Amino acid sequence: MKDHYEYPYPSPELESQYPFSVYEHERLTEEAMLDRAKAFYAEMNARRSVRMFSSDPVPQELIELAVKTASTAPSGAHKQPWTFVATQNPEIKREIRVAAEQEEKINYLENRMNEEWQEALAPLGTDHHKEFLEVAPWIVVLFEQRYETRTDGTTHKNYYVKESVGTAAGLFITSLHRMGLATLTHTPTPMKFLNKILNRPENERPFILFPVGYPLDGVKVPDLKRKDLNEIFTTVLEA
């Protein structure tokens, strides 16, 4: 019998213990699916990381919507082990810039990044100057929650934290691009300074720092080529 399951999910026993609801899903025609997939691919293929932002203000509601979208990401055991910390305070942004530049000076000028790494970065031309951290209207730092602390003081494990937070980061970037904003996936490592500046607890570790805003008019980006499908995708035809 087509699509018959011997072990349906949820089992009647499971459903008697935990709440379940019917997943609302509209099945599209293949033509509609193709149209949507092609349009979305074209839109996402136009996304670029920028390193010069306009200082034009961006409403907080847009940032909040990007965070809400990010938080729709799947996560290990549905722990949602992420905190997004946003600031548009000029003094805090300045502090972050100064601390990031300090770390990046060691990375770039004192060879904390090895030669191979520096060679890989050469076409991007990145260096220790991080002016954009002060110019962009928002800095949003995504923290991973290595474990959970509850209000009663107990601590609890989180699962697949990096995988979960990375997935949320992708949705955050996608949401910003979709609404016409730009960001840079920035990792001025080590980033522990962000806990101090942003007053975050011990269970949180900085994952990615996102300056967010409009791209500066006429901003340039490296002419990068993305891998062809045949370099990143294969099918297995025979057992």
Ligand X SMILES: Cc1cc2nc3c(=O)[nH]c(=O)nc-3n(C[C@H](O)[C@H](O)[C@H](O)COP(=O)(O)O)c2cc1C
- Give the footprint of ligand X on this chain (CB under 6 A): 48-49, 51, 124, 126, 184-188, 221, 224
Nearer to ligand X, 51 or 97 (CB): 51
State how far the alpha carbon of 68 is from the alpha carbons of 182, 231, 235, in Å: 17, 33, 34
Coil, strand or helix: which one is 145? Answer: strand
For ligand X, the closer of residues 80 and 183 by Cβ is 183
Q: Which is nearer to ligand X, 217 or 238 (CB)?
A: 217
Pairing of strands 147-149, 155-157: antiparallel
Contact 154, 71 (CB under 8 A): no
Whether the CB-CB separation of 183 and 49 falls below 8 Å is answered with yes
Measured from the CB atom, is 137 or 215 closer to ligand X?
A: 215
CB of 224 to ligand X, least distance (A): 5
Q: Smallest gap, in angstroms, from Cβ of residue 171 to ligand X?
A: 14
CA dist 46 and 216 (Å) reads 16
User: What is the residue type of 131?
Assistant: E
CB of 47 to ligand X, least distance (A): 7
Residue nearest to ligand X (CB): 49
Asked whether 136 and 55 are in contact (CB, 8 A), the reply is yes
| Closest to ligand X by CB, 186 or 198 | 186
